[in-house]
Amino acid sequence: MNHALELFLDDLVFAEGPRWHEGRLWLSDMHDHRVIAVDMAGEVEEIVRVEQRPSGLGWLPDGRLLIVSMLDRRLLRLEATGLALHANLWELASFHCNDMVVDATGRAYVGSFGFDLDAHAEPRKAELILVHPDGRAEQVADELSFPNGCVITPDGRTLILGESFGACLTAFDIGEDGRLSGRRLWAKLEGAVPDGICLDAEGAVWAASPVSNEVLRVLEGGQVSHRVKTDRMAIACMLGGPDRQTLFVLTSKTTDPGEAVKLRSARVEMLRAPAPGAGLP
């Protein structure tokens, strides 16, 4: 495997929530308040602007886009006429909403910060919220240490979640009703912090780690099979491309919102992965 990252896209403010969908890489340029999609030729389309910071992305079965609106703790739905409210999470989310995974039936699992990270507040545990396709919302997990990237296995029966402040990947069983049970440690990460994650066809999780400037391919139990260093913070990753075997890595020199706007240092970099993507997102 060639561990050298190649530049795919630059001049972004702060890129998050990458998804491969219908032949393009979609992402939230969070601090530029917009969702974009880019094809393999590098052609960028602005999909929609989200003034309260977009984060996690996903799609309903009928193809409508769901977008986490962070600061006002809402899940939005993109209609032909513009953005509409899908679910108000203000009373369920303890602080800013964050990343999300949407399953094949349109159920969305949304995490939250739990505390004011940008103000360097004392860390507090947070929750994972399930939003049903009709917009009903409920808490399905708590006591999470900054729940971040999520994936769902191809059989739809397991959700794996990155706990950034817990330095671990945590797994849950998904019930027929979408509720979670069987919480367990999937992998402990030594010296790394999982931010955005994605799943491959061999059952390994790629995790971006901003504190150690790398992306890691992790097997259940914690073994790291591949480690790719970056020259700046690794924020998130996604397997995509025509055969889903291109690993896109979102990087940035800073996570500070003000600095991100000034520097515009965020990039999408890429490399060939050992196995194609699988599951969701």
Distance CA(203)–CA(68), nearest Å, equals 27
Contact 198, 239 (CB under 8 A): yes
Backbone phi and psi for residue 36, each to the nearest 5 degrees, phi listed first: -125, 165
What is the predicted pLDDT for the residue at 104?
97
- For residue 80, give both structure tokens: 């032909």
Tally Cβ neighbours within 10 Å of residue 103: 20
CATH tag for 6-272 (out of 2.120.10.30, 3.40.47.10, 2.60.120.1440, 3.10.20.740): 2.120.10.30
Contact 207, 199 (CB under 8 A): no
Contact 214, 190 (CB under 8 A): no
Distance CA(166)–CA(126), nearest Å, equals 12
Q: Which residue, 139, 137, 163, 166, is CA-closest to 149?
A: 163
- β-partners of residue 135 are none
CA 267 from centre of chain: 16
* Long-range CB contacts for residues 104-108, cutoff 8 Å, separation at least 24: 104/61, 104/156, 104/280, 105/61, 105/133, 105/178, 106/60, 106/61, 106/133, 107/131, 107/132, 107/133, 107/178, 108/58, 108/66, 108/75
Distance CA(99)–CA(153), nearest Å, equals 17
- For residue 162, give both structure tokens: 């990155």
Contact 281, 198 (CB under 8 A): yes
What is the predicted pLDDT for the residue at 12?
98
What is the predicted pLDDT for the residue at 114?
75
The pTM for the full model equals: 0.96
Q: What is the DSSP letter of 123?
A: P
SS3 67: strand
Q: List Cβ neighbours of 80 (8 Å cut-off, separation of 6 or more).
A: none
Tally Cβ neighbours within 10 Å of residue 139: 14
Contact 255, 208 (CB under 8 A): no
Q: What is the DSSP letter of 258?
A: H
Distance CA(12)–CA(140), nearest Å, equals 34
CA end-to-end span of the chain, whole Å? Answer: 24
Residues of the chain with pLDDT under 70: 1-3, 115-117, 119, 121
